[in-house]
Amino acid sequence: MKTETIAIHGGNIVNDPLNPVIQPITLSSTFGHQEGSMVYSRLENPNRKSLETVLAALEKGNDAAAFSSGNAAANAVFQALPAGSHMIAPDDMYHGLKSLLLTVFNQKIEVDFIDLTKPELLSDAIRENTQLLWIETPSNPLLKISDIQKLSKKAKKHGIRVVCDSTFASPVFQQPLGLGADLVMHSSTKYIGGHSDLVGGILITKEKDDFWKQIKNVQALAGAVPSPFDTYFLTRSIKTLPYRMKAHAANAAKIATFLDQHPFVEKVYYPGLEKHDGHLIANSQMQGFGGMLSFVIKGNAADADKLIDKLHYFTNATSLGGVESLIERRSRVQGVVPGIPEQLIRMSVGIENIEDLLEDLEQALGQF
């Protein structure tokens, strides 16, 4: 099956004797004892099983584990590491996960944050106890592109496991397992959910090895699992994911070009632009450049806030990946971070009519 067909049929597992076309929501917390049945919904649920099945298929993986948030999914990976492990992560790692490592896992996991767009830096960061390389590409919010294949090859030479946060790309535009990663992670809150109305996370593995068994133990025993209701709607949302991603990317490409040519815009971060530092790598490992972009205006942080306030079709809110366009000055959310200009604006481009979005941006920028 091709991607679009997998998205529609891959998670539609119907066992109801009435033979409904769409799998119903199974809200029961427990199941009657019988051979081959599920036991308890913290351990397994029909809707969660469907979600995990379709996402494993989309990522060409062996198995998947759904969680109640993207942070919970990443947390399961960190908890599965042996005590005293060292890991390597990108210097611009998503701030929620970076904060998790620096607070909850402080003095439990040693972490070095390096620029993974420069694979040559990886060798110097590896220690005897390095167990994990965490890649995030495209990154948040600078849309930096890391070479998954090159980094994975270097890590494997040292027996280091590789996880790739592929949230910005979605399974439609990037499959890290085929490029050498052992695990791929998504915040399913974002493009997989696609409608800004639920929170979730997912891990997909290439192999069902001992490390994966540890992650599944964390999922089952710690219990940070999504509800049947949320997994049902995620599985439903996936049916339109390939076509939504194409629309997001088409709109984002046009907006990136428009902003790149505007006199009030200093720089645009979008891997689809040929001038982007990671364009060639993105072109080689992605099937589309996605719907996320960031840009820096020639004014200051206050000017960026004023610009956002003048927009009509872009909602000033955090998160991303919904059908509606969202925009925010990133430093207002994650604080001032070295290397990220305070006036940097991050945009999640929705699937509204592109002419409306461009007219809105033009009128807002025209007031400066």
Active site residues: 42, 94, 165, 190
Contact, 342 vs 331, CB < 8 A? yes
Radius of gyration of the chain (CA): 21
Handedness of CA 217, 221, 226, 228 (dihedral sign): positive
Which residues sit opposite 310 in a β-bridge?
none
Closest listed residue to residue 135, CA positions, set 145, 123, 126 = 145
Which residues sit opposite 201 in a β-bridge?
67
- Overall size of the chain counted in residues: 368
End-to-end alpha-carbon separation of the chain, Å?
Answer: 50
Contact, 131 vs 151, CB < 8 A? no
DSSP character at residue 105: T
Look-up of token digits 């632009």 = 273
Say how far apart CA 2 and CA 58 lie, in whole Å: 9
Reading the block at residue 48, the tokens are: 């969660």
- Stretch (H or E) spanning 74: helix 70-80
Handedness of CA 80, 86, 89, 94 (dihedral sign): positive
Reading the block at residue 339, the tokens are: 């290397």
